[in-house]
Structure 1
């Protein structure tokens, strides 16, 4: 039987009972290319995806592709400092067995590339276990702990269709009702398209000198020619 035309995509609340694998898939497809080597690829999901889904599902939203499967998401929290504390107290114990398993993954070969992968994996796992503030806040000021923050990713098939704006609006409305006064996000400084999108939405550069002012700009870490340079934006609610 012909199932008929697929329903149009729409924004809805993340559903822990059925969405988590699809959200992880979106993360894996859209994350930075430097993460796309195992076990770093999987470890990355335990930083930029899992803690939000497990600790704050009420402030996670997805683009439902019209068939029940998420094709994009926004995940985040209304208070970053409180989130980091819950990360330590609740998240790490909950995923400890998975982290131990990832730490034991063997890499074949003894070359510099293999050593680099293992070192990066170990550094990431150490931060997950011991320093969520560094992972979440990075180099931005400690007073930003009172702000909310978000991560947003959308599959290419659903980009440039207005869903990014809808996701952010939905998220900001939700965390605003929880008392959040402002939301920040971090992004690669080389992603000029994303920067234009956030600025058009209403985000402003974080009004702080970061990274000891090495870039000479507000809201930027790293020098302009550094591969790891980042921009931080904030919007008042």
Structure 2
């Protein structure tokens, strides 16, 4: 039977693969971007900075089939991402594209924009300083595990005194747009992506 457990460093490769397999608006992003790019943006920095806020859904053989990662302080995380993570890892592998011609170029440009005060900076909505990323393989979806993962992370954030949590979803991802309201989030803004918030008090 599947179960949620804390993240372990030995999970990195399996979680990175899940990130790619769900990275194209919920579908398989293999070959859409450099397969290392999405984990460098949306998974690995969270495992590095907040391993205690990372939880894994594993099957009966303890193989990861989903995960949730997050931060309790979006502003501090994004500053660290720009100044430490991306400058030392991302920027050395993916030069800043000029001009932006492809979807992969746009994703790399997003990496450069984070923590720089730009439009794509991921500034937290007022009252929702924490944020998350959650991904489940198709075989793990529809069984309530997304709600369980959200609950586990929310409890960990409450224990830190965090007042609210937010998540963003591409408007091209109808599954995610339906998921967040279903598990208690409310719309709190967003242009290109929809942003949802959950009060933790």
TM-score, normalised with respect to structure 1: 0.71
Which has the larger Rg? 1
1:30 to 2, 10, 22: 22
Q: What are the within-5 Å matches in structure 2 for residues 108-119 of structure 1?
A: 115-116=101-102, 119=105
Q: What are the within-5 Å matches in structure 2 for residues 1-237 of structure 1?
A: 8-16=1-9, 18-32=10-24, 36-37=30-31, 39-92=33-86, 94-95=88-89, 99-103=91-95, 115-116=101-102, 119-120=105-106, 122-127=108-113, 131=116, 135=120, 137=122, 143=126, 147-206=129-188, 219-221=189-191, 229-237=192-200
C-alpha displacement at 1:132, in angstroms?
A: 7.8
Describe the SS at the equivalent of 2:92. helix
* More helix, by proportion: 1
Structure 2: unaligned runs, 5 residues or longer: none
Answer yes or no: is the 8 Å Cα contact 1:84–1:133 preserved in 2: no
Runs of 4+ in structure 1 off by over 6 angstroms are: none
Answer yes or no: is the 8 Å Cα contact 1:40–1:117 preserved in 2: no
Answer yes or no: is the 8 Å Cα contact 2:94–2:108 preserved in 1: no
Residue correspondences, number: 195
Describe the SS at the equivalent of 1:131. coil
Q: Which moved more, 1:184-193 or 1:34-43?
A: 34-43
Structure 1: unaligned runs, 5 residues or longer: 1-7, 105-113, 207-218, 222-228
TM-score, normalised with respect to structure 2: 0.83
- What whole-Å deviation, never above 9, does each CA across 1:127-156 have from its counterpart, x for those lacking one? 35x638755516x65x46x61011110001
Separation in 1 of the partners of 2:78 and 2:32? 26
